[in-house]
Structure 1
Amino acid sequence: MDAPLIIVGAGHAGGRAALTLREEGYSGRLILIGDEPHVPYERPPLSKGLLQGSQDLAGCSLCDSTRLAELGIEHLAGNAVSRLAPLQHRLQLADGQWLPYHG
C-alpha cells in the first residue's frame, strides 16, 4: 500500500488544500490532521459572525465530517503532530502513533 499524502493543519488552509486536491482529481489516500476537535472552518466568519451571535460554528465550516468521508479524506481531529522523521517519511501524533507519509 502506498503511503498517504498527509496535510498537517486542519484549519482553513489545510481544509481547503484537501478539498482542492479531490476537486482536481487526486485519488490517493489523503489524511488531514489537526489538533482542534472539529472540522476545518473559515476563520473570518468565525471571528465576526460567531462572536456576534449571528452564526454558529457549523455555518463557518468548510464542510462537515460526512462530506470529508464522502471525499475519502481521513480527518484526524484533536491529535496534533508532535514529531517528524523526514528521512523515514514518518510523523508521530500526540497519542504516540506513527504514520508514514508520501515523500
Structure 2
Amino acid sequence: MVDTASVAKRAAAAKAEVEDAVERAAAAGAAARDAAAETAESVTANVAAKLKAAGIDTDVMAEAAKGQASELQRLLAEELRARPLRSLGIAAAIGLIVGLMTAR
C-alpha cells in the first residue's frame, strides 16, 4: 500500500530541489551574461585603442557608417515608392525561398 504522507514529503522535497536548481541556474546565467558584457566592452575598447594607434579614427568611421546607412535607407524608400509592385514581388520571392529553405 502507498503511504500518501511519504509520497507528499518526497514530492515537497523534489519541488524544493527543483526550485533551488532554478535559482542556481538563474544566478549562473546572470553571472555569465555579466562576464560576457565585460568581455565585449574590453574587446571593444582594445580594438578601438589599436585602431587609433594605427591612425584610424573610429569616431569618423562610425559617423561615415551612419551617413551611408541613412543614405541607403533613403534610396530604398525611393525605390519602394517608385516601383511598389516590383518591391512586393521581390519580397514575396525572398519569403518563398526562405520558407522553402526552412521547411527542409
Give the TM-score normalised by structure 1.
Answer: 0.19
Give the TM-score normalised by structure 2.
Answer: 0.19
Structure number with the bigger relative contact order (C-alpha 8 A, sep ≥ 6) is 1
Structure richer in strand, relative to its length: 1
Q: Which has the larger radius of gyration?
A: 2
Structure richer in helix, relative to its length: 2
